[in-house]
Structure 1
């Protein structure tokens, strides 16, 4: 695959004396603002839905589909990632980005107007197609609209766009739900997304975003594999509806996912091969541990302790603060700490967090124990996630950076979707007992500890050069 075409920069550029051009200079300011806004709104919506879904589920009588509402969006995002990546390599990112934003906004509208939980889940599946592809398209926009000297600054702005929603998103979503209506958590983001994209589309049309040598590699097999992974994920999340056949559906769905995902990953990923395969495997395991448990923390605080949606959101905010602080430490001192030590410290914090919430639910401890304990989960992920991204690029060459980056995102989504679905079945199976929440968070702790296996095989590439 040829390197993406870079338009000649026309503003102040980095000189030998170190004068650095900014992504907020006139040439890029509107494109930067629009792209960052799209990332911000996607992050805000993702965190907001985690907070308000217990209320949505209660209003729509949808407890049986609670896990599907989360797992489904992760599953269909895999299709969006694969399809958008291939489309961008052939025609440039503007048309794919337009399609992905349209799918994302349409899914939000369907969910916001949903009269039943089934319709809301359908909106979430549609939204997932757009969410997965939108991130890939924006990364290609960065590669082709900005000179290489600015790439790091753009990605730093993208990271900041995730931190702010982590701090205020859950609380704001709870306030909207309590004082207006949960439907505006979906509809409000849809309106703002369309407005942000209008800015991006107008400004990006003036950049040369098409590559001079479009890719021609066949992608049909990868697309079919992505569809199979998504179908397996959705079937897995619906397994609770199969009655006495539920666990058989789980086994069959997991088999489909494991077979279909292999062509989308580097070789030996599923067997924890040393280096890049272990980086990607660890990413999926820790994503499963975090997101599988996180969707049930507001559920526990609202249903088990009588929290309002506003105060339940603060349980996620504590973890977000810890994530942001730990990510800064990982970015500044990751080379000095070392990959193996980061893996051990991160996994330990994630396991401690899950165990603290499980103990809170099992022995009816004060809810502050669960909230403070879950902050450790954010700290562990803040250490591990940035380092995994650095390692994925360090193990890559210009010819496989796109494939490896996509693989990291795909297995992140697969790990999250699979764990949410399995934990949802466990929770539904144990409904009416006191074991549901402890079992879910115990599973999260087990997944975290399993991540130590690939964590000890991360190795070193060129990340310190």
Structure 2
């Protein structure tokens, strides 16, 4: 039996990986939980703090900060190692939770949300760098499968738990209650990061390039927020400004992604693009499914939401399957299969809307799309690390995360503009075409492994 096979069988929940696995999974879960919990309690928060006018900014500020955090922490982790950057990001995230939980005005709450996004974005990238150092390559697919489930599980329990806590105690405890859990999870990471930073003589000082990347990340973040806000403008003005915002985003992203990304060059560049386009397909479609089932079919809100639950369950199951199969399943096959399931699921939503099919077909389609995402994302994360040279893991994982965030956000914004022109048909046609592009890119990634 080979060494790789022995490591793969060892598993991520056995010594010496059990403690960092639980700690890292918990940190990812808590960041995901907060992002979903806020959606549930935001009406209560804005009413209590008399801040309904800052409702959208409370979300967009987190997104903007996340992009900056990914770039800043990614560069820092590459220069000196992941330990100090990781705990700094955790501290910033926890500070954001504490400030949000004690906020007495909406501007302070928005500032807290900015800190949460900054910390969560940086935390994600630092954890990916740590995975490259702590876990052997055969276990990467398992740990990334676990991370994927940590993002999906909150979509099933987060809204209910947040609503219950807000009703039973106060919305403040949705934030304050998580601070202690973050501290416990951070403590679990201490043994794993000890000695993982570079020696002082090997550390690379910050450069003008690092500062430029952070500034460009800020431009990307602000442009995404502007693009997401165009739906509030006159339709003609929105369609005039949308291409400008997309061009600005593309220009500012040039140095934040690997060379060759815009040409979808085989290897790492195509893998980074695949992450962003797949995210655009999924999130650009998902947001309109409950609305379709509620407005067109007259289903109650709780029943409309079951479609999203089906996608979340499929995502979690597929991620678990990827983690269990590991390298026994050819990565190229997994990537092609995941892209096909995602594209097929999006196409079925379009057909359901156009042909007025039974609403159960929407659930079937979204189960397929969720399975596609659960198959794709762990493999993409594994490939990004496998294709990264030593010392570039932070930059490349940040590029993947930025691609994911920007791809989903841009697709959401453009879907919203298309919805105003052709309700349901417009956004679903757009994401179906994106789905076809996902399949083509996946074929390129699979063939170039």
TM bucket normalised to smaller: 0.7 to 0.9
Q: State the partner residue of 2:438.
A: 451
Per-residue CA deviation, residues 213-249 of structure 1 (Å, 9 max, x unaligned), is 2222521121111111111111111222332421222
Q: Which has the higher helix share?
A: 2
Per-residue CA deviation, residues 8-47 of structure 1 (Å, 9 max, x unaligned), is xxxxxx999989697665x876555433211122233345
TM-score by length of 1: 0.76
Greater CA deviation, 74-83 or 435-444? 435-444
The match for 1:43 among 2, 12, 32 is 32
Deviation at 1:423, TM superposition (A): 1.9
TM-score by length of 2: 0.79
Deviation at 1:107, TM superposition (A): 4.9
Distance 2:391 2:311 in 1: 37
Deviation at 1:176, TM superposition (A): 4.1
2:115 is equivalent to residue 129 of structure 1: no
Question: Kindly tell me: are residues 255 and 128 of structure 1, through their superposed partners in 2, closer, same or farther at Cα, counting changes over 3 Å?
Answer: same
2:206 is equivalent to residue 220 of structure 1: no
Distance 2:130 2:29 in 1: 16
What's the secondary structure of 2:445's corresponding residue?
A: coil
Aligned residues of 2:280 and 2:431 also touching (Cα < 8 A) = yes
For structure 1, the residue ranges without an aligned partner over 5 or more in a row are 1-13
Greater CA deviation, 234-243 or 396-405? 396-405
Aligned residues of 2:230 and 2:238 also touching (Cα < 8 A) = yes
Q: How do 1:54-93 residues align onto structure 2 when only pairs under 5 Å count?
A: 73-90=62-79, 92-93=81-82
Distance 2:377 2:337 in 1: 12
Count of residue pairs brought into register by the alignment: 436
Q: State the partner residue of 1:307.
A: 300
Aligned residues of 2:336 and 2:442 also touching (Cα < 8 A) = yes
Greater CA deviation, 361-370 or 446-455? 361-370
Q: State the partner residue of 1:416.
A: 408
2:429 is equivalent to residue 437 of structure 1: no
What's the secondary structure of 2:254's corresponding residue?
A: helix
Greater CA deviation, 278-287 or 109-118? 109-118
Question: Kindly tell me: are residues 296 and 131 of structure 1, through their superposed partners in 2, closer, same or farther at Cα, counting changes over 3 Å?
Answer: farther
Question: Kindly tell me: are residues 362 and 129 of structure 1, through their superposed partners in 2, closer, same or farther at Cα, counting changes over 3 Å?
Answer: farther
Aligned residues of 1:30 and 1:199 also touching (Cα < 8 A) = no
Q: State the partner residue of 2:149.
A: 163
Deviation at 1:436, TM superposition (A): 2.5
Greater CA deviation, 268-277 or 115-124? 115-124
The match for 1:193 among 175, 178, 192 is 178
Greater CA deviation, 200-209 or 409-418? 200-209
Per-residue CA deviation, residues 366-393 of structure 1 (Å, 9 max, x unaligned), is 4322222111111222232233233323
Question: Kindly tell me: are residues 114 and 179 of structure 1, through their superposed partners in 2, closer, same or farther at Cα, counting changes over 3 Å?
Answer: same
Distance 1:177 1:20 in 2: 36
Aligned residues of 2:139 and 2:326 also touching (Cα < 8 A) = no
Distance 2:328 2:4 in 1: 28
Deviation at 1:211, TM superposition (A): 1.6
What's the secondary structure of 1:436's corresponding residue?
A: coil
Deviation at 1:198, TM superposition (A): 2.0
Greater CA deviation, 115-124 or 156-165? 115-124
Distance 2:262 2:343 in 1: 22
What's the secondary structure of 1:208's corresponding residue?
A: coil
Question: Kindly tell me: are residues 211 and 299 of structure 1, through their superposed partners in 2, closer, same or farther at Cα, counting changes over 3 Å?
Answer: farther
Question: Kindly tell me: are residues 396 and 325 of structure 1, through their superposed partners in 2, closer, same or farther at Cα, counting changes over 3 Å?
Answer: same
What's the secondary structure of 1:458's corresponding residue?
A: helix
Distance 1:165 1:259 in 2: 30
Distance 1:198 1:250 in 2: 42
Distance 1:387 1:448 in 2: 18
Per-residue CA deviation, residues 436-465 of structure 1 (Å, 9 max, x unaligned), is 23322222112111223322322556x6xx
CA RMSD of aligned residues (A): 4.2
2:247 is equivalent to residue 255 of structure 1: yes
Q: State the partner residue of 1:210.
A: 197
What's the secondary structure of 2:444's corresponding residue?
A: coil
Per-residue CA deviation, residues 245-267 of structure 1 (Å, 9 max, x unaligned), is 21222111111110111111122
Distance 1:80 1:54 in 2: 23
Distance 1:109 1:415 in 2: 30
Q: How do 1:317-356 residues align onto structure 2 when only pairs under 5 Å count?
A: 317-328=309-320, 330=322, 332=325, 339=332, 342-356=334-348
Distance 2:288 2:125 in 1: 28
Aligned residues of 2:223 and 2:249 also touching (Cα < 8 A) = yes
Question: Kindly tell me: are residues 372 and 57 of structure 1, through their superposed partners in 2, closer, same or farther at Cα, counting changes over 3 Å?
Answer: farther
Aligned residues of 2:141 and 2:322 also touching (Cα < 8 A) = no
Aligned residues of 2:142 and 2:322 also touching (Cα < 8 A) = no
Distance 1:20 1:346 in 2: 26
For structure 2, the residue ranges without an aligned partner over 5 or more in a row are none
